[in-house]
């Protein structure tokens, strides 16, 4: 039986030139990683990469549903595609990712955005060849959001955007059901990839000259649950660390309830692992953390920080914060500010709470005023700016390992990230340095980055 992949390839090979695709991924690294698989599938069926959206024959938006603002932006962008479709009726428009996994969203797209040909949720990624075949052969709109089992398909090709940096998913899904969060509904239950499959991928990447590998999962600390092998995330980190090659290892995200001292020890003891932990705290108030169903208290969180700093001076932390969870009081918020003072994060990613239909928190009546929420956000950002400014001063005169990944906005400078995940810039005319790791002596610090010279 001919596979759908071959059927699509057959149809496309009859064209004079291969159709070009343009994929834009929104949201988190997991989505970006899925986008690379979508690209890999299209490429393997004979499509080419479009240099821009205007010359594309296939446009795919890989969507994020985590906050309302993200969704609204995407709806706006889908709306704008109408003009492109009018100009080119042959254009194929696809919507995938987390929004496309929600039934209410799929219904809305089908009824309002007639320019869309193809909708496939996160569970249906590998169904793309069949769906595309139906669009090409029958010119009809298709959608797929069913759960196609919980198996992990290792066979999907990946077309990576960058050569020197790569992300490698280690687990998919989330079982935590934080009360505000839509992710468990659109990404399904936790499932881990086999260590051998992960190691093979890491080995191939290292051999091809990749300098940074980012391990991905909604909660990497629960890696290993349900596998035949007895292994946890720390065990996996040690295995990857032993892989030959000149690359550094990062990972995202860790959940504080599962982050233990063993993880800190592993980070410190493994030479390739960056001495930085992104540990989303969400709130400094134990009362709010309980309401969020996070499974830890502010005190438990601080214990991990204390242990890491006791073992290694200067261990770098970054975090996510939600401001204005339903009924957050001024006192709750003050505890979040106290947490910032206590930990002195090198970076925070902060969000105003966004109500997500279908989650537990969406059922709460919220007595916190929107203007209080935005005011708190302002105060939080202001505070973190000061902390960054003071924090980054510790790097002055020090030598950091920086993987350069592009030109900086500052003319003449190139930019990258240090092991601590801090933006570092250096004056450098030789653009071939981009994609390599260099030692940078820090001469200047700001509240958003450090600057220095390559040594």
Residue 60 carries which DSSP code?
E
Of residues 29 through 68, those in contact with ligand SAH by CB under 6 A are 66-67
Residue 31 near ligand SF4 by CB under 6 A: no
From the list 101, 253, 318, 384, which residue makes contact with ligand SAH (rule: CB under 6 A)?
A: 253
Angle of the 261-269 helix axis to the 233-241 helix axis, nearest 10: 0
23 binds, among ligand F3S, ligand SF4, ligand SAH, none (CB under 5 to 8 A by kind): none
Q: How far apart are the first and last CA of the chain?
A: 59
353 binds, among ligand SAH, ligand SF4, ligand F3S, none (CB under 5 to 8 A by kind): ligand SAH
Shortest Å distance, C-beta 334 to ligand SAH: 19
Say if CB 63 and CB 97 are below 8 A apart: yes
Residue 434 near ligand F3S by CB under 6 A: no
Please tell me whether the peptide bond between 28 and the residue prior to it is cis, using omega within 30 degrees of 0. Answer: no
Residue 436 near ligand SAH by CB under 6 A: no
Element (H, E) at 423: strand 423-427
From the list 35, 184, 217, 326, which residue makes contact with ligand SF4 (rule: CB under 6 A)?
A: 184
Q: Record the tokens describing residue 173, joined without a space.
A: 């899904």
Cα separation, 197 vs 231, in Å, equals 14
**Closest to ligand F3S by CB, 19 or 169:** 169
Cα separation, 452 vs 415, in Å, equals 11
64 binds, among ligand SAH, ligand SF4, ligand F3S, none (CB under 5 to 8 A by kind): ligand F3S
From the list 12, 65, 119, 174, which residue makes contact with ligand SF4 (rule: CB under 6 A)?
A: 174
Binding track over 314-353 against ligand SAH, x by CB under 6 A: ------x-x----------------------------x-x
Say if CB 93 and CB 81 are below 8 A apart: yes
Residue 218 near ligand SAH by CB under 6 A: yes
184 binds, among ligand F3S, ligand SAH, ligand SF4, none (CB under 5 to 8 A by kind): ligand SF4
Residue 220 near ligand SAH by CB under 6 A: no
Binding track over 94-133 against ligand F3S, x by CB under 6 A: ---xx-----------------------------------
322 binds, among ligand F3S, ligand SAH, ligand SF4, none (CB under 5 to 8 A by kind): ligand SAH
274 binds, among ligand F3S, ligand SAH, ligand SF4, none (CB under 5 to 8 A by kind): none
Cα separation, 344 vs 394, in Å, equals 12
Of residues 356 through 375, those in contact with ligand SAH by CB under 6 A are 356
Q: Name the residue with tokens 């309980």.
A: 290
Strands 316-323 and 347-352: parallel
Candidates 41-49, 127-135, 169-177, 206-214: pick the segment binding ligand SF4 (CB under 6 A).
169-177
**Closest to ligand SF4 by CB, 141 or 286:** 286
Residue 183 near ligand F3S by CB under 6 A: yes
177 binds, among ligand SF4, ligand SAH, ligand F3S, none (CB under 5 to 8 A by kind): ligand SF4
Cα separation, 73 vs 446, in Å, equals 31
Element (H, E) at 424: strand 423-427
List alpha helices for 286-350, DSSP H.
Answer: 286-291, 298-311, 330-343
What's the full length of the chain, in residues?
455
Rg of the chain in Å (alpha carbons): 23
Q: Record the tokens describing residue 211, joined without a space.
A: 């300098």
Shortest Å distance, C-beta 216 to ligand SAH: 10
Q: Name the residue with tokens 């091809």.
A: 208
**Closest to ligand F3S by CB, 32 or 427:** 32
Element (H, E) at 269: helix 261-269
How far is the CA of 87 from the CAs of 57, 82, 83, 103, 240, in angstroms? 12, 9, 6, 30, 49
From the list 135, 181, 298, 424, which residue makes contact with ligand SF4 (rule: CB under 6 A)?
A: 181
C-alpha atoms less than 13 angstroms from C-alpha of 365 in its C-beta half-sphere:
1
Positions in the binding site for ligand SF4 (CB under 6 A): 174, 176-178, 181, 183-184, 218-219, 255
Binding site for ligand SAH (CB under 6 A): 28, 66-67, 180-181, 183, 218-219, 253, 255, 280, 282, 320, 322, 351, 353-354, 356
């Amino acid at each position: 039986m001919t596979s759908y992949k071959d059927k699509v390839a057959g149809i496309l090979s009859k064209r004079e030139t291969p159709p070009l695709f343009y994929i834009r991924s929104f949201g988190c690294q997991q989505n970006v990683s899925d986008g690379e698989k979508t690209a890999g599938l299209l490429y393997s069926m004979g499509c080419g990469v479009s240099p821009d959206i205007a010359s594309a024959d296939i446009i795919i938006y890989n969507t994020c549903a985590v906050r309302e603002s993200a969704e609204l932006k995407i709806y706006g962008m889908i709306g704008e595609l109408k003009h492109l479709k009018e100009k080119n009726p042959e254009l194929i428009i696809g919507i995938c990712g987390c929004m496309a996994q929600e039934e209410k969203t799929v219904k809305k797209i089908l009824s309002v955005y007639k320019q869309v040909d193809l909708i496939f949720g996160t569970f249906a990624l590998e169904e793309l060849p069949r769906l595309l075949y139906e669009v090409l052969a029958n010119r009809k709109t298709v959608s797929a959001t069913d759960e196609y089992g919980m198996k992990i398909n290792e066979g999907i090709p990946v077309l990576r955007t960058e050569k020197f940096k790569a992300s490698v998913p280690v687990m998919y899904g989330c079982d935590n059901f934080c009360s505000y969060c839509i992710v468990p509904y659109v990404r399904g239950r936790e499932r881990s990839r086999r260590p051998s499959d992960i190691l093979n991928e890491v080995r191939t990447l290292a051999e091809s000259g990749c300098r940074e590998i980012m391990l991905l999962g909604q909660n990497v600390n629960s890696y290993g649950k349900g596998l035949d092998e007895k292994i946890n995330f720390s065990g996996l980190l040690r295995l990857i660390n032993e892989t030959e090659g000149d690359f550094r290892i990062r990972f995202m995200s860790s959940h504080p309830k599962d982050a233990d001292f063993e993880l800190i020890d592993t980070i410190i003891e493994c030479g390739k692992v960056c001495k930085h932990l992104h540990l989303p705290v969400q709130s400094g108030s134990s009362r709010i953390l309980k309401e969020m169903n996070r499974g830890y208290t502010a005190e438990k969180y601080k214990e991990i920080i204390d242990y890491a700093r006791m073992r290694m001076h200067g261990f770098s932390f970054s975090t996510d914060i939600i401001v204005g969870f339903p009924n957050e009081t001024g006192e709750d918020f003050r505890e979040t500010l106290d947490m910032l003072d206590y930990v002195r994060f090198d970076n925070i990613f902060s969000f105003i709470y966004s109500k997500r239909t279908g989650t537990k928190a969406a059922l709460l009546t919220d007595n916190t005023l929107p203007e209080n929420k935005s005011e708190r956000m302002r105060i939080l950002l202001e505070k973190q700016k000061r902390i960054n400014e003071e924090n980054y001063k510790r790097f002055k005169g020090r030598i950091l390992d920086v993987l350069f990944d592009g030109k900086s906005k500052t003319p003449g400078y190139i930019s990258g990230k240090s092991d601590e995940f801090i933006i570092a810039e250096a004056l450098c005319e030789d653009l071939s340095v981009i994609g390599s790791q260099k030692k940078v002596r820090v001469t200047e610090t700001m509240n958003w980055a450090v600057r220095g010279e390559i040594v």
